Amino acid sequence: MHLFGLNWQLQETEGYAFENGQVKSDGTATNAVTALTTENRVYFQENNTIDTGEVDVGRRAVQDVPPGTFWRSQLFIDQPQSLKFNISVQRGALVGVYGRKGLPPTHTQYDFVELLDGSRLIAKEKRGLVEVEGAGRKSRAVNVHEAEFIRYLDSGTWHLAFYNDGKNTEQVSYNTIIIDTLTECPHNCHGNGDCRSGTCHCFPGFLGPDCSRAACPVLCSGNGQYSRGRCLCYSGWKGTECDVPSNQCIDIHCSGHGICIMGTCNCKHRLQRRQL
């Protein structure tokens, strides 16, 4: 193949089967890799995908998404309607939410997109399943950060994709709720609030009669005092923004090398025990 003035050859990579230019996969998680070679150099292009299929409106879906991976699912809309999306991510997560009717979205082809930065979202405490060494998965309070937005969707199949643009595996969850009265409010609340009896009730982070203005963030999450460029947390809170309860770890995954027990990372093997 001649491209950019160079002669290229497609080369099969170890561990992947190619058929008609595509990678064959037995599971729902795919890792398509194409290797282009020229002058003894190899260039790789990857497209990692997890597909959980169709998700019913109103049901919450949860998935651990590795870095650089799309988590895909589909919603079937039987009639045009507005949907409210409730999305939960971990603190520090960088997630792109893409939606497209009829076809899977990509970074450049979509009908709507929302970019979420977990550190800028409102923190809430929820019950969740976490790994406890020697005891499997147990229910425990988990600090999550939530985002909400509303989109008007025509009837048909809508493809959703959540892309993890961070460096760590992130747990992402979402559900959808049908909104019936959105058209009564000015500018449909710009998708940043709920419409109730003709009045916009803005989601956290937005202000104004039509929820069009971004609100200033609450200093130290309301759990501390700001002094000389840093937050001094009240008792029971910790973290740079005082948004993590003291009995939880700032990094709930302990960098993948330990278990969080009562706010302290207990490291595995020979790694030193440290506070996170």
* DSSP per-residue string spanning 232-274: EEPTTEESTTS-EETTS-SSTTGGGTEEEETTEEEE-TTPPPB
For 88, the token pair is 């939960």
pLDDT tens, position by position, 158-184: 999 999 998 999 999 999 999 875 556
Mean pLDDT of the chain: 76
Scan for tokens 């309070």, then name that residue. Answer: 141
Q: Where are the domains of the chain?
A: 2-47, 55-180, 219-267
Q: Given this structure, which CATH class describes domain 55-180?
A: mainly beta
Percent of all residues in the chain with a pLDDT value above 70, rounded to a whole number:
69
Nearest-angstrom CA–CA distance, 169 and 167 = 7
What pTM, to 2 d.p., does this model score?
0.53
Is residue 77 within 8 Å of 153, Cβ to Cβ? yes
Specify the pairing of strand 258-261 against strand 170-179: unpaired
Cα of first residue to Cα of last residue in the chain, in angstroms, is 51
Q: How far is the C-alpha of 258 from the C-alpha of 238, rounded, in Å?
A: 20
